[in-house]
Structure 1
Amino acid sequence: MKPNSPKKEHYAYSKHGSCSILAAIEPKTGQRLAHVRRQRTKQQFTWFMKNLAQNYPNADKIIVVLDNLNTHTPNAFYEILEAENAEKLANRFEFVYTPKPASWLNIIEIEFSALLRQCLNRRIASINELSKQVMCYFKERIDKKIIINWQFSCESARQNLNKHYKQVNPINIKYKKTN
């Protein structure tokens, strides 16, 4: 400190932990599934996907749109489950990964944004309280039958992501924006 200067204090933020929220939405029915966990691990992802598969026992294939987190792969199943069970679980799903600069294509990311604005816009003291708040939020969305009317087409995605397509392969210039 300099002589004759005011005393200065630094704001100290104390982080009391973090956690992971795993969630899924069935767009046309508004059904949602959410889990709050202490960590984001391959084990947590595997148990979530196993739970998701149990919700659709008659489905031949469950299409899941995911971001590119390192835990979001069918390889996680093989690290956690016996090979035979991992294969059965992996065969239940078709994973579609959103491009890294386009997480807005993933409907659950939009839902997380709404969750953040409507529910998580304050400090929550414990993981138990957080879990209670998140589950209450998702239950309310289910009860209100809030569905997703997704109108974004593959062609729109190609136009919006054109600069990334061109970086990968210049022949993709054909996907020009037509506005």
Structure 2
Amino acid sequence: MEDVLSVYKRPRDPNRPVVCTGETPRQLIREVYAPLPMEPGKPKRHDYHYKRNGVVNLPVFFEPLAGWRTVMTRERRTRVDWAPFLRRLLDKHYPGAEKVILVMDNL
């Protein structure tokens, strides 16, 4: 734990950014009935009926010291699916970085 905390304490270095990762599964739902619009003194209301449209995984990459984040979507959670997201992160967001330090403490 102390090793991870020491990484978080490093000063920001654009050539060696500290990028944290996380992910969360999310259920995709669609409303069956249209929401009731707002009225004076009443908020917009949603019915409790919904249709399930599957599940997706949302991997998140964020660089806390730069105030930056990006969220991607994928249908499964496998290493084959994970690798293209890492490649995209490195090629698109950190092409000139000498080294990207990934903190994957919860994966």
Which TM-score bucket, shorter chain as reference?
A: 0.3 to 0.5
Which one has a bigger Cα radius of gyration? 1
Report the TM-score, using the length of structure 1 for normalisation: 0.28
Kindly indicate whether structure 1 or structure 2 has the higher relative contact order, using CA contacts under 8 Å at least 6 residues apart. 2
More helix by share: 1
More strand by share: 2
